[in-house]
Structure formats: C-alpha cells, structure tokens
Amino acid sequence: MEVSHVSIRIEKLTKELKKNNIRLSHQRLKVLEYMVTHRTHPTVDQIYNDLQKEVPTLSKTTIYNTLRTLVDANLVKAINIEDNEVRYDAVTKDHGHFKCESCGEIFDFDVDFNTFSTRGLKNFNIKHKDIYFKGICPNCM
C-alpha cells in the first residue's frame, strides 16, 4: 500500500475517532497506524512486540484497551477464525478470511453477499457477517 494512501486512511480514521469522542493519544495513533500499514491480521502479541521497538513504554493493556475501543467504533474487526487466538483487521468492507493450516497465513477474499442465499433467515436482522475458511494455500501445495 502506498504511503499516501496510508496517510489518507489514517486521516479518515482519526476523524472517525474524533466523531466518537475518542481521544487521539500517542499510543492509539500508533496502534491505528500499525493496523493500517500491516494488513497481516495481527494478534495483540504481534502488535505489542512490533510496536514496542518504537514505543518502549507501550503496554499490552493499552493495546487491549485500544483495540476494544476501535472494535466498538467499528473501525477494526476481531477475527475469531481460531479458538485460541483473536486477530484484528482494519477492515473497510465485507470480505472473507482464509487461514492456511500449513503456514498459518490469513488471506482475504471477496465474497458476493448478494449471490448468497440465506434461507431460514427471512425475519432476522443481520448486522455482522463473518466468513472463515480453512485449508491449504497455493504456496503450501
């Protein structure tokens, strides 16, 4: 992703934060910046280990707090593709996640939610849609 796009993205996000009355602390901006520049669906631990190099005083508690804030504000999505770890994604639109059971990498894929028949949910108010696939990626085959 180009640097200019990243800065535009972050600008948008900080506006969203202001709109939600969330203070723009140094730590929050760093986490946000990390989420936008690293599209690797990181865990709290990965964010923590990477950001600590830049911001040595940063605590895991703050990352947990920040991510909850961002998830509540719908700026970040939690990915529960595995039952023993939560990953995070700075999503903009609906898409699916594929996890390779060999290398562990998570891939995004487009999902056409319109061609998607959901019989049995006629009178349901659907707010969140998560699609998780697992298997083997082309690189590991």
The answer to the question of whether 100 is labelled as a binding residue is: yes
45 binds, among DNA, its own copies, none (CB under 5 to 8 A by kind): DNA
User: Which residue number, 61 or 139, has a Cβ lying nearer to DNA?
Assistant: 61
Asked if 39 contacts 90 with a C-beta cutoff of 8 angstroms, the reply is yes
91 binds, among its own copies, DNA, none (CB under 5 to 8 A by kind): none
Which of 57, 117, 123, 139 binds DNA (CB under 7 A)? It is 57
**Phi, psi dihedral angles at 127 (to 5 degrees):** -110, -35
| Interface with its own copies, residue 126, by CB under 8 A | yes
| Interface with its own copies, residue 117, by CB under 8 A | yes
Element (H, E) at 69: helix 60-72
| Interface with DNA, residue 123, by CB under 7 A | no
* Long-range interactions of 37-45: CB distance < 8 A, separation 24+: 37/1, 37/6, 39/1, 39/89, 39/90, 39/108, 40/106, 41/79, 41/87, 41/88, 41/89, 41/97, 41/106, 42/87, 42/88, 43/85, 43/86, 43/87, 43/88, 44/86, 44/88
The residues binding its own copies (CB under 8 A) are 78, 80-83, 86, 96, 98, 101, 107-112, 115-121, 123-138, 141
The residues binding DNA (CB under 7 A) are 22-28, 43-45, 55, 57-62, 64-66, 68-69, 83-86
Q: Per the annotation, where are the binding residues for Zn(2+)?
A: 100, 103, 137, 140
